[in-house]
Amino acid sequence: MQSARQKAIEAIQKRGGLIRTREALAEGMHRRTFYGLRDEGVLIEISRGLYRLADTDLSAPRVSDRLLELIMSMPEDEQQKLLKDLEGKVLKGKRKHYRKPFFMVVDYAAQDRGYKDFIQNISAGGVFIETQMPFSAGQEVSLTFPLPNYQKYIKISGEVVWTSAQGIGVTFKMVSQDQDAMIKSLLEMI
């Protein structure tokens, strides 16, 4: 009978010697087994959450090597377009819109009370506001925050869709094409 360690190594070999932590755990590999292989040097972390078997033959051409070669030969604007397309595909089903870091002061009001906190990230669909104030999902909010150059302000309404100890997730309620255009313009700037 095979040990859990040997089963894990064989499962990784079937994947070409590469595996992500979440994939290993989703396939039923025990954390202790997975991290034990890492600690023994059998698995080497090549990027955050991505591991390869130490004895994997990297001299054989891999799909990722060819992709990198092709991408590096593309002009930067085409690389940016490809990146957006790929992020959209990877995030499909997880989020409707890709979030970007955006640290900016925001004035907002809910139930006739004003607040001032900081936006931590933004997408075409909403923002995450770091706050210690108690909110609940479904609350209506009106937001005002500056564009990075501080020459114009975006005023938009939204709804709290989730809360955590760190803050609130707010989805935008677009009421005009101008608001939509300003958000898209902002996302292109950052």
Ordered DSSP codes for 163-190: E-SSEEEEEEE--SHHHHHHHHHHHHH-
65-to-12, 49, 69, 71, 121 alpha-carbon distances in Å: 19, 19, 6, 10, 32
The answer to whether the beta carbons of residues 54 and 44 sit under 8 Å apart is yes
Both structure tokens of 138: 């479904």
Beta sheet of 43-47, edge-to-edge order: 18-20, 50-53, 43-47
Cα–Cα nearest to 156, from 135, 139, 179, 140? 179
- The number of beta carbons lying within 10 Å of the beta carbon of residue 154 is 19
Q: What pTM was computed for the model?
A: 0.49
CA dist 131 and 147 (Å) reads: 20
Q: What is the pLDDT of residue 47?
A: 75
* CA 36 to chain CA centroid, nearest Å: 28
Q: pLDDT tens track of the chain, all 190 residues? A: 678 889 988 888 887 788 888 888 888 889 899 989 999 988 888 777 888 888 866 555 566 666 766 787 788 888 888 887 776 666 555 556 677 888 899 999 998 899 999 999 998 889 999 998 888 889 999 999 988 776 788 899 999 998 888 899 999 987 778 887 888 887 887 7
Cα–Cα nearest to 108, from 124, 131, 87? 131
